């Protein structure tokens, strides 16, 4: 599409005239840009702002992140979900300290080699921080390009992402960072997701084939989603004299290394729950509430029954926390925090 060569000239003035003011756009410091891009994965901008500020207040540098205690790290991330992101942040920080002398690498291939960094994040950091012509192609950018080219190919196919990346690489201007952010801004606002595109206010309308053909609202196309696997779980919110039982999840796998309320697979009735607690070495005094909740992961849905009860002793293979300690020290992933917030 020859018209794509006009894209930088259309997008850059529009972006500079009135883009959203976001804290990570006020810096060229690669650590801060990297952190923002990791936090923004699967997470709304408004939700990230507070986390971003708190994280940088406690961990203002790669070195601070590399040396951070895991429990504090998880607490800073609590509620953002997808905790493998923050574990990889720390691993990458340690690699930067060990292999790059604590200086964030400038070369795309070196950035791409860091734990938890894929092509999108490497492209974003290198273009925004270092003005390199490295496209950062995510869902927003794919949506924009799908409409500009009136392309019905499913945007979740790797070949489509590769083709878009190469098409953009060929037209990147010297102001690479602004161009990357302009594409992101367009895809998040005027050409945003889950709503009708605002073509009347789009700076690229004159070169948009989907606008010309009247197909913008039908794009982008995605492949059919697979059904999520369903799993029932029973969660025990155990209290004793103002203390609550928690345990650490395994260091590998789903929600690795995070705190959780004791739980078992399956939806247990009262008799089964009491037997399960007995096997944990606990003696219940009173069951005082039961609620139903669910939590959706990428490939699985937990259908969760929460049972709240008082026990006679702080027994079992658990750690017992006060409410204040849970609120300030123990990182509960959202799947379990929803039961804490209902207590």
What is the per-residue pLDDT across 141-177, written as a single tens digit (0 to 9) for each?
Answer: 999 999 999 999 999 999 999 999 999 999 999 999 9
Q: Is the dihedral of CA 222, 223, 224, 229 positive or negative?
A: negative
Contact 166, 118 (CB under 8 A): no
User: By C-alpha distance, which of 257, 239, 267, 254 is closest to 340?
Assistant: 239
Tokens of 211: 């606008």
Tokens of 27: 């810096």
CA dihedral 181, 183, 187, 188 (to 10 degrees): 10
Contact 222, 155 (CB under 8 A): yes
Helices 158-169 & 139-148, crossing angle to 10 degrees? 80
Q: Report CA-CA distances (Å) from 8 to 20, 55, 175, 204.
A: 18, 34, 9, 10
Q: Confirm whether 116 is domain-assigned.
A: yes
Please tell me whether residues 20 and 144 are part of one structural domain. Answer: yes
Q: Using alpha carbons only, what angle is made at residue 310 by residues 305 and 311, rounded to the nearest 5 degrees?
A: 110
Please tell me whether residues 149 and 258 are part of one structural domain. Answer: no
Identify any residues that bridge with 239 across adjacent strands, giving them in sequence order: 244, 310
What is the per-residue pLDDT across 188-219, written as a single tens digit (0 to 9) for each?
Answer: 999 999 999 999 999 999 999 999 999 999 99
Please tell me whether residues 165 and 309 are part of one structural domain. Answer: no
- pTM of the model as a whole: 0.89
> What is the full per-residue pLDDT of the chain (343 aa) written as tens digits?
789 999 999 999 999 999 999 999 999 999 999 999 999 998 999 999 999 999 999 999 999 999 999 999 999 999 999 999 999 999 999 999 999 999 999 999 999 999 999 999 999 999 999 999 999 999 999 999 999 999 999 999 999 999 999 999 999 999 999 999 999 999 999 999 999 999 999 999 999 999 999 999 999 999 998 899 999 999 999 999 999 999 999 999 999 999 999 999 999 999 999 999 999 999 999 999 999 999 999 899 999 999 999 999 999 999 999 999 999 999 999 999 999 998 8
Please tell me whether residues 322 and 274 are part of one structural domain. Answer: yes
- 119 catalytic? Reply is no
Please tell me whether residues 171 and 91 are part of one structural domain. Answer: yes
From start to end of 250-342, where are the E strands? 259-260, 263-265, 284-296, 300-311, 319-322
We report the CATH number of the domain holding residue 180 as 1.10.340.30
d(Cα 328, Cα 322) in Å, to the nearest integer? Answer: 10
Q: Confirm whether 224 is domain-assigned.
A: no
Place of tokens 């019905």: 152
Contact 142, 215 (CB under 8 A): no
Contact 59, 65 (CB under 8 A): yes
Please tell me whether residues 40 and 163 are part of one structural domain. Answer: yes
Out of 180, 195, 218, a domain closes at 218
We report the CATH number of the domain holding residue 328 as 3.90.79.10
Contact 116, 88 (CB under 8 A): yes
Out of 195, 218, 241, a domain closes at 218
Q: Report CA-CA distances (Å) from 108 to 50, 133, 194.
A: 29, 10, 32
Please tell me whether residues 79 and 172 are part of one structural domain. Answer: yes
Please tell me whether residues 212 and 296 are part of one structural domain. Answer: no
Please tell me whether residues 58 and 119 are part of one structural domain. Answer: yes
Please tell me whether residues 148 and 49 are part of one structural domain. Answer: yes
Out of 161, 184, 218, a domain closes at 218
Query: Structurally, how many domains does the chain consist of?
Result: 2
Q: Confirm whether 270 is domain-assigned.
A: yes
Beta-carbon contacts of 162 under 8 Å, excluding residues fewer than 6 positions away, are: none
Please tell me whether residues 206 and 80 are part of one structural domain. Answer: yes
Q: Report CA-CA distances (Å) from 236 to 13, 159, 196, 334, 336.
A: 56, 46, 44, 15, 10
Beta-carbon contacts of 66 under 8 Å, excluding residues fewer than 6 positions away, are: 90, 93, 94, 96, 97
Q: Using alpha carbons only, what angle is made at residue 67 by residues 64 and 73, rounded to the nearest 5 degrees?
A: 80
Q: Confirm whether 223 is domain-assigned.
A: no
Please tell me whether residues 165 and 250 are part of one structural domain. Answer: no
d(Cα 273, Cα 123) in Å, to the nearest integer? Answer: 50
Supply the range of the domain harboring residue 277.
229-340
Catalytic position from the list 3, 26, 29, 37? 37
């Amino acid at each position: 599409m020859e018209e794509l060569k006009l894209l930088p000239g259309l997008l850059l003035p529009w972006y500079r005239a009135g883009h959203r003011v976001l804290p990570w756009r006020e810096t060229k410091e690669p650590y801060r840009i990297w952190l923002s891009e990791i936090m923004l994965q699967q997470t709304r901008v408004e939700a990230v702002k507070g986390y971003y500020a708190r994280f940088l207040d406690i961990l203002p540098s790669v070195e601070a992140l590399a040396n951070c205690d895991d429990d504090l790290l998880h607490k800073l991330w609590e509620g953002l979900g997808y905790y493998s992101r923050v574990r990889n942040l720390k691993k990458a920080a340690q690699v930067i300290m060990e292999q790059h002398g604590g200086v964030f690498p400038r070369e795309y291939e070196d950035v791409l080699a860091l734990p938890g960094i894929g092509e999108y994040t490497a492209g974003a950091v290198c273009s925004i921080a270092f003005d390199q012509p490295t496209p950062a192609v995510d869902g927003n950018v794919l949506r924009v390009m799908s409409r500009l080219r009136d392309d019905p190919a499913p945007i979740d196919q790797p070949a489509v992402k590769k083709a878009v990346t190469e098409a953009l690489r060929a037209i990147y201007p010297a102001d690479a960072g602004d161009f990357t952010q302009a594409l992101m801004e367009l895809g998040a606002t005027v050409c945003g997701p889950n709503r009708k595109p605002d073509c009347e206010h789009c700076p690229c309308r004159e070169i948009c084939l989907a606008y010309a053909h009247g197909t913008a609202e039908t794009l982008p196309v995605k492949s059919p989603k697979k059904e999520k696997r369903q799993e029932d779980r029973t969660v025990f919110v155990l209290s004793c004299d103002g203390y609550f039982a928690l345990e650490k999840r395994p260091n590998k796998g789903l929600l690795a290394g995070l705190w959780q309320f004791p739980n078992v697979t399956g939806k247990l009735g009262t008799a089964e729950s009491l037997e399960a607690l007995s096997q944990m070495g606990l003696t219940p005094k009173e069951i005082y509430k039961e609620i139903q909740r669910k939590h959706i992961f990428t490939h699985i849905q937990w259908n969760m029954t929460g049972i709240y009860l008082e026990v006679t002793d702080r027994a079992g293979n658990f750690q017992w926390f006060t409410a204040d300690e849970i609120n300030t020290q123990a990182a509960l992933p959202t799947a379990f925090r929803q039961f804490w917030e209902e207590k």
